[in-house]
Amino acid sequence: MAGETVTATVHIDAPPERVYEYFTRPEAIVRWMGDYAVLEPEPGGQFTVDVKGAPVRGRFLHLDPPHCLLISWGYAGSDRLPPGTSTLQVRFTAEGSGTRVILEHRDLPPAERAGHASGWTHYLARLAMAPTGNPGPDPGMPAPDAAQL
Amino acid sequence: MSEAAFHALAEPHRRGILRLLRGQPRSVNEIAEQFDITQQAVSQHLKVLRDAGLVAVRPQGQRRLYIVRPEGLAGLRDFLAEFWPDNLQRLKQAVESGEPANDGA
């Protein structure tokens, strides 16, 4: 399971108790991530969120309200990250009058090949600038057929 | 990045479709409305994108919605490295926008 980790953090102007709820209550989580959620915030309880149609399926592994959450994270039907494979750790720390959220998404499968690592935005931008080499057969763009009308 | 994915992305409409689907899942009709090409052409582009593993279909009621496969492009890690900062910003906005997520809200 030794894989890669993605880390992200944010400061939120609200106390940890309140931020914590946005990970454990369905009606709160869908206000920032996903459009459907079933959450059972207890050890072993399900963590189900559909994020833009992508079916995230996992379980609450450890809960220490309002300080820390450990959640397993995978995608139903995914070959590369099926449910149970990766782990999300979210820590909530008081910072000033607000909360520092530190998120670590661990145990991600390593990239297939170093050097091919480029995010969506970067890759699409690069490709848009590149000359179109060999476009190959293009199934799109049927010829105008106004003559048939 | 597979050959199929590279080929799929070498066409501007298909890149446009991917950008559109990144925002939210959409049906063929909804995608076609955004481009000056026929629905038939959009369907063909979607087939290429599906074969390349870049998009998938999710049935929702009577509709078939197209979504971006989270692990479709170069790497899952790269996807998540953009996904989490974006989503934490959304979290920040949601929490700070006021209304506490209380019972019976």
Q: Copy the structure tokens of residue A97.
A: 């009058």
Q: Give the model's pLDDT for residue A21.
A: 96
| ipTM > 0.90 (yes/no) | no
Q: Estimate the crossing angle of helix B12-23 against helix A120-129, to 10 degrees.
A: 160
Q: Give the model's pLDDT for residue A12.
A: 96
Q: Check pLDDT > 80 for residue B11.
A: yes
Inter-chain CB proximity B25 and A103 less than 8 Å: no
N-term to C-term CA, chain A: 61
Contact map slice: A 56-85 vs B, CB within 8 A: 75, 77-81
Q: How far is A42 from chain B (nearest CA, A)?
A: 18
Q: Copy the structure tokens of residue B92.
A: 């920040």
Q: How far is A28 from chain B (nearest CA, A)?
A: 6
Q: Which residues of chain A register pLDDT less than 50? A: 1, 112-124, 126-149
Closest A-chain CA to B47: A139
Q: Estimate the crossing angle of helix B76-96 against helix A120-129, to 10 degrees.
A: 120
Q: Could you say which of B37, B44, B80 has the minimum Cβ distance to residue A108?
A: B80
Q: Give the model's pLDDT for residue B81.
A: 86
Q: Check pLDDT > 50 for residue B82.
A: yes
Residues of chain B found within 8 Å of residue A28, distances taken between Cβ atoms: 94, 101
Amino acid, res. A101: V
Q: Give the model's pLDDT for residue B1.
A: 54
B71 pLDDT tier (thresholds 50, 70, 90) = low
B22 pLDDT tier (thresholds 50, 70, 90) = confident
Q: Give the model's pLDDT for residue A148.
A: 28
The structural domains of chain B, with segments of one domain joined by +, span 3-70, 74-105
- Answer whether CATH 1.10.10.10 is correct for domain B3-70: yes
How many Cβ atoms sit within 10 Å of the Cβ of residue B71? Answer: 20
Q: Copy the structure tokens of residue B11.
A: 């066409």
Inter-chain CB proximity A33 and B87 less than 8 Å: yes
Q: Give the model's pLDDT for residue B61.
A: 84
